[in-house]
Amino acid sequence: MNQIMKISVTVNGVLYERSVEPRLLLSDFIRHELGLTGTHVGCEHGVCGACTILFDGAAVRSCLMFAVQADAHEIVTVEGLSPDPQHLDALQEAFWEAHGLQCGFCTPGFLMTLKPFLAQNPDPSDEEIREAISGNLCRCTGYEHIVDAVKLAAAKMKESSS
């Protein structure tokens, strides 16, 4: 039953062509085949949110998709957030400044969840932020600093666009 399928996937603007077994999870494809280990794997059953990526622009859990399903689609991982190696994205900067992380394991998932959220809702309330991150677990911060970081990021983004 060793079916092998050829896929081409655009990840962070780069087109990758690989041959994969259908059962390979997208999360493992990103980490092991592409070496992009910024996407973290926590629970592997869709509960913790650490493996969240952007799939055609929408935040999804990469542990609940197969790599073959990403054929001809576009993915952004946490490595694709910053414009260049010298600079962080405004959201990343805000997490840094507001202590939105401690161990950092959950952070890539939070960032990829929040990136489209802030694009759609540039001035969110505390309640909206908490709802947006309800699918991401963090065992260090107690979430308070993460909510602060999101508000700071929203302010930074507003400043840079005005």
Partner 1 sequence: MKPPPFAYHAPTTLDEALQLMAEHGYGAKVLAGGQSLIATMNFRLAAPAVLIDLNKIPELSIIQPTAEGGALVGAMTRHVQVEQSELIARTAPLLHATMPHIAHPQIRNRGTFGGSIAHADPAAELPAFLRAVRGQVLAQSRRGQRWIDADDFFIGLFSTALEPDEIVTAVRLPAMPARSGWSMQELSRRHGDFALVAVEALLTLDADGACDDVRLAFCGVGEGPVLATAAAAVLQGQRPTAEVIEAAAAIAASDDVDPHSDVHATSAYRRHLVDVLAKRALTAACARAAGEEV
Q: Which residues would be at the binding site for partner 1 (CB under 8 A)? A: 1-3, 5, 21-23, 25, 28, 44-46, 49, 52, 55, 58-61, 63-66, 68-69, 113, 117, 130-132, 134-136
Residue whose CB is less far from partner 1, 56 or 97: 56
CB of 130 to partner 1, least distance (A): 7
Residue whose CB is less far from partner 1, 49 or 80: 49
Name the packing angle between helices 144-161 and 90-97 (round to 10°): 140
CB of 114 to partner 1, least distance (A): 10
Pairing label, strands 14-20, 58-61: unpaired
d(CA 61, CA 58): 10
Asked if 72 contacts 83 with a C-beta cutoff of 8 angstroms, the reply is no
Q: ∠ CA 8-112-24 to the nearest 5 degrees?
A: 40
CB of 9 to partner 1, least distance (A): 15
d(CA 11, CA 3): 24
Residue whose CB is less far from partner 1, 65 or 78: 65
CB of 105 to partner 1, least distance (A): 16
